[in-house]
Amino acid sequence: MTDITAHGHASSTGISNVKLGMWTFLGSECLLFGGLISTYMLYRGRVTGGPRPSQIFDIPFTSVSSFVLLMSSLTMVLAVSAAHKSEDRKTNLWLTVTALLGATFVGGQVYEFTAFYNEGLGFSTSLFGSSFYTLTGFHGVHVTVGIIMLMSLVGIFKRSKVSGNKAEVVEMIGLYWHFVDIVWIIIFTLVYLIPV
Amino acid sequence: MTTETTHTSPSVEHVENHGMSNAGYIRIAAILAAITALEVSTVYVDFGPLFLPALLIMMVVKFIMVVSYFMHLKFDNKLFSFMFYAGLVLAVGVYAAFLATFKFFIQ
């Protein structure tokens, strides 16, 4: 038996294969970030002469960055909502705002990395430095990839070259974006708020 | 046999698929922002022995709210929940065991 999903393509399960694939991918991403977070938790106290986390972390600054990323999840879900209602102009607007908020977060991360480096925490200064830069750097790369996808989507939509269901495409990128946000929710608490 | 499950109206499809209005999303975002403010306050206000449990509970609540409402997992097919939570539970289990081998939890 073949069902046609809500997004209009045939599937033996009656649910979207694209969506199932995305959720499976996000499940596997949990393992990737789980490894990076665990490694950081293990090494966060190994500073070997370099600065300690409490000496360099700027909690007010990172809190604002976290708030910006959290609000980008709101604008993303509003983009998905607009896409489902076939409101193309609103969809493009919210996707662009989401990308801008994401770029603000990445900009903040670049500033933070530069400040930490100037305060003596290089990638190879200590195990704390290596695990911190690897974890937050991997997250930053994920946000950057998300921004590229969002801006590509806006460009493709403006040229009306999207094949298949627009709403599903926006929803898939939305799932990726929200995942990046939930990873930061964990990083913000475990890395920044819980002292060593 | 082919079973048609598409909806006629985009707005009807939206509400049925995701179960929330834009005002609902804004309310969720406001709650998330308030929890974040409370998390940050733990750095400046002494919560005593409740500090760590409170932070971890707030982190989990935020995580579940984003996954359930913004990612629509609460309203979507249960197979999606299984695929995601299977990965998450596997990750937590594997890395908790990994950290236990390094005596992380008794330091």
DSSP character string of chain B: -EEE---S-HHHHHHHHH---HHHHHHHHHHHHHHHHHHHHHHHS--GGGHHHHHHHHHHHHHHHIIIIIS-TTTS-HHHHHHHHHHHHHHHHHHHHHHHHTTGGG-
Among partner residues A4, A59, A181, which is closest to B5 by beta-carbon distance? A4
Give domain limits for chain A: 3-193
* B97 shares its domain with B70: no
Lowest mean pLDDT segment, chosen from A77-81, A160-164, B6-10: B6-10
Sign of the CA dihedral with A30 first, then A36, A37, and A38 last: positive
Q: Count of CB contacts below 8 A, A vs B?
A: 153
Check pLDDT > 70 for residue B107.
no
Question: For residue B66, how far is the Cα from the chain centroid?
Answer: 4
Same domain flag for B9 and B53: yes
pLDDT of A164 reads 66
How many angstroms separate the CA atoms of A39 and A127, rounded?
A: 10
Residue type, A129: G
Domain A3-193 listed as CATH 3.40.190.10:
no
Tell me if B40 and A13 make a contact (CB, 8 A cut-off): no
Whether residues B44 and B88 fall in one domain: no
Q: What is the pLDDT of residues A169-184, one digit of tens each?
A: 999 999 999 999 999 9
Residue B4 has pLDDT above 60, yes or no: no
Same domain membership, residue B104 and residue B67: no
The helix/strand/coil state of A70 is: helix
In this prediction, residues B67-90 reach a mean pLDDT of 91
Hey, are the CB atoms on B4 and A35 less than 8 Å from each other? Answer: no
Asked if B69 and B102 sit in the same domain, the reply is no
Per residue in A66-106, pLDDT tens? 999 999 999 999 999 999 998 889 999 999 999 999 999 99
Position A166 scores a pLDDT of 84
Least confident of A112-121, A170-179, B68-77: B68-77
Q: What is the DSSP letter of A11?
A: E
**Domain match, B32 and B81 both:** no
In our burial notation (b when 16+ CB lie closer than 10 A, e otherwise), range A90-104 reads bbbbbbbbbbbbbbb
Report the distance separating Cα A142 and Cα A181, nearest Å. 10
What's the domain range around B41?
A: 1-75
Beta-carbon contacts of B17 under 8 Å, excluding residues fewer than 6 positions away, are A6, A84, B72, B75, B76
- List of chain A residues whose C-beta atoms are within 8 Å of the C-beta of residue B2: 1-4, 10
Q: Do B25 and A84 touch (CB under 8 A)?
A: no
| Cβ count near A48 (within 10 Å) | 9
Q: Are residues B16 and B33 in the same domain?
A: yes
Q: Do the chains contact at B66 and A185, CB–CB below 8 Å?
A: yes
Which DSSP letter does residue A189 get?
I
The verdict on a CB contact (< 8 Å) between B3 and A8 is no
Q: Alpha carbon of A191 to those of B19, B22, B55, B87: distances in Å?
A: 34, 32, 12, 22
Single-letter code of the amino acid located at A83: A
Inter-residue contact B102 to A42 (CB < 8 Å)? yes
Lowest pLDDT segment from A148-152, B6-10, B93-97: B6-10
Q: Provide ipTM, 2 decimals.
A: 0.89
pLDDT band at B9 (very low <50, low <70, confident <90, very high): very low
Local structure of A124: helix, strand or coil = coil
Say if CB A112 and CB A58 are below 8 A apart. Answer: yes
Find the residue in B nearest to A66 (Cα): B36
Domain count, chain B: 2
A11, β-bridge pairs: A3
Q: Which of A3, A27, A76 sits opposite B87 (nearest CB)?
A: A27
Asked whether the beta carbons of residue B87 and residue A30 sit closer than 8 angstroms, the reply is yes
Surface of A (27-56) touching B: CB under 8 A: 27-31, 33-35, 37-38, 41-42
Residue A53 confidence class, pLDDT cut points 50, 70, 90: very high
- Phi, psi dihedral angles at B43 (to 5 degrees): -75, -30
**Dist CA A25 CA B46 (whole Å):** 40
Under 8 Å CB-to-CB from B34, ≥6 apart: which residues? none
| pTM: predicted TM-score of the whole model, two decimal places | 0.88
d(CA A168, CA B28): 22
Residues B29 and A38: their CA atoms lie apart, in Å, by: 28
Tell me if A27 and B26 make a contact (CB, 8 A cut-off): no
- A144-156 pLDDT, tens digit per residue, is 999 999 999 999 8
Q: What is the pLDDT of residue B19?
A: 66
**Do B18 and B51 fall into the same domain?**
yes
> Residue B96: what residue type?
A
